[in-house]
Amino acid sequence: MAMLKLSLAFDVLAFVFFLCFIMSTGSYQYFLFVQQWPPTTCAVRKKPCYQNPPSKIFTIHGLWPSNYSKNAWVANCNGTRFSNSLSPALESKLKKSWPDVESGNDTDFWGREWNKHGTCSEQTLDQELYFQRSHIIWKAFNITNILQNAKILPTGSKWDYADIASPIKTVTTKMPALRCKPDPTQPKNPNNLTMPHQLLHEVVLCLHYNGRVLIDCNHTSTCKNNLKILFQ
């Protein structure tokens, strides 16, 4: 009898471990939540943007399930295709937080982001949840506001990486990652007196696998170490 109980206990335990296993593994390990600065998106674009002039508010680029390993690019998974059937209430929120800055077709942008990225985390967030969660994080951590309060204004000043990352970390308590783009108006080989710089393009917050809690972002910056960052 004691033996039976023990074996039952063992089975229960094994089942619990199994559940934990299927719940904690998936086709990705964590999320990048990427917000873009529209003036930079449009400055590096070959054609003029639909938003003209682009709005000076950080808006969502995407929520990207990712893996820690650099050569494990997670994208284009076998999930359901974008069904374009988000609730009207959510759609009207997304028009503010997740507009298609470049071409002006918001649903098309949402569809491309879902099909490329959202399909890889569908086991955690279905289509409605994926967009809802993104909107909630955008609203909860207002990057535009955080930088404004830290007197980091888009007036063409140049900053060090930490000047911009630190105030964001103070508010969110987790390390963000910045993404930069080369300034297309800057000479390729700056053999002159102007200090070379890069443009602040995107601010990334990292999220746990469950898409609910923030975690530190590591090694996900695309900014060059030795260059000042222009915010304009």
Ligand X SMILES: *[C@@H]1O[C@H](CO)[C@@H](O)[C@H](O)[C@H]1NC(C)=O
- Residues annotated as catalytic are 61, 113, 117
Contact (CB, 8 A) for 211 and 31: yes
Residue among 25, 52, 54 at smallest CA distance from 39: 54
Contact range with ligand X by CB under 6 A, out of 48-56, 143-151, 164-172, 187-195:
143-151
Nearer to ligand X, 76 or 170 (CB): 76
Residue 4 tokens read as: 């039976």
Q: Which is nearer to ligand X, 11 or 108 (CB)?
A: 108
Site string for ligand X, 1-20 (x = CB under 6 A): --------------------
**Residue 127 or 183 having the CB closest to ligand X:** 127
The C-alpha torsion from 198 through 38 and 204 to 32, rounded to 10°, is -130
Q: Give yes or no for residue 108 binding ligand X (CB under 6 A).
A: yes
- Got the DSSP string for 163-193? HHHHHHHHHHSS--EEEEEE-TTS-SS--SS
Q: Which stretch binds ligand X (CB under 6 A): 13-21, 41-49, 123-131, 136-144?
A: 136-144
Phi, psi for 88 (deg, rounded to 5): -55, -35
107 near ligand X (CB under 6 A): yes
154 by DSSP, 3-state: which?
coil
**Is residue 67 a contact point for ligand X (CB under 6 A)?**
yes
For binding to ligand X (CB under 6 A), which residues are involved?
25, 27-30, 67-68, 72, 74, 76-78, 105, 107-108, 111, 139, 142, 144-145, 148, 206, 215-218
